[in-house]
Structure 1
Amino acid sequence: MKPLIISIGNRYRCDDGVGPYTLDLLQLVLGESSDFIENIGDTSALLDIWQDRDKVVLIDACYADDTDDKNLGQIFRLDGLNESLPADNPVSSNHAISIANAIELGKLLHQLPQSLTIYSISGNNFSQGEAISPPLLIAAQHLVSLISDELNTGMKACTSTP
Structure 2
Amino acid sequence: MRKRTHIAIIGVGNEYRHDDAVGLIVVERLRERAAERPLPPGTALAACDGDPGRLISLWEGADLVLVVDAAHARPAEPGRVHRVELDSARLARAPSSSSHGLGLGEAVELSRVLGRLPDRLVVYAVEGADNSVGTGLSHTVARAVTPVVASIEEDIVRHRDRAARG
Q: State the TM-score, normalized to the length of structure 2.
A: 0.78
CA offset at residue 65 of structure 1?
Answer: 3.2
Write the distance in 2 (CA, Å) between the matches of 1:7 and 1:18: 8
Larger Rg: 2
Matched-pair contact (CA < 8 Å) for 1:86–1:92: no
SS in 1 for 2:28: helix
State the match for 1:145 in structure 2: 150
* Aligned mates of 1:111, 1:73 — CA distance in 2: 32
Q: Give the number of aligned pairs.
A: 146
- Partner Cα separation in structure 2 for residue 135 and residue 116 of structure 1: 26
1:112 to 104, 112, 117: 117
Q: Is the 8 A contact 2:50 2:104 kept in 1?
A: no
Structure 2 residue runs of 5 or longer lacking an equivalent are: 161-166
Q: What's the secondary structure of 1:154's corresponding residue?
A: helix
| 1:22 alignment counterpart | 26
1: CA distance, partners of 2:96 / 2:122: 12
1:79 equivalenced with 2:111 (yes/no): no
How far did 1:153 drift?
A: 2.9
- How has the CA–CA distance of structure 1 residues 23 and 65 changed in structure 2, closer, same or farther, with 3 Å as cutoff? same
Deviation at 1:53, TM superposition (A): 1.2
Instruction: Determine whether 1:63 maps to 2:72.
Output: yes
TM-score by length of 1: 0.80
Which of 10, 13, 16 does residue 9 from structure 1 map onto?
Answer: 13
Aligned residue identity for 1:86 = S
* Aligned residue among 63, 71, 74 for 1:54: 63
Q: CA deviation at 1:147?
A: 0.8
C-alpha displacement of 1:148: 0.5
Q: CA deviation at 1:114?
A: 1.4
Aligned partners of 1:29, 1:85: CA distance in 2, in Å?
38
Q: In the alignment, is the contact (CA less than 8 A) between 2:11 and 2:24 conserved in 1?
A: yes
- Residue 43 of structure 1 and its aligned partner are, at CA, apart by 2.7
Instruction: Please tell me whether the aligned partners of residues 64 and 124 of structure 1 are also in contact (alpha carbons under 8 angstroms).
Output: no
Contact 1:12–1:130 (CA<8 Å) still a contact in 2? yes
Distance in 2 (CA, whole Å) between partners of 1:120 and 1:85 is 19
Output one character per residue of 1:108-157: Cα deviation in whole Å (capped at 9) or x when no partner: 110111111111100131110002111111111110111101211339xx
Q: CA deviation at 1:27?
A: 1.5
Contact 1:10/1:41 (<8 A) preserved: no
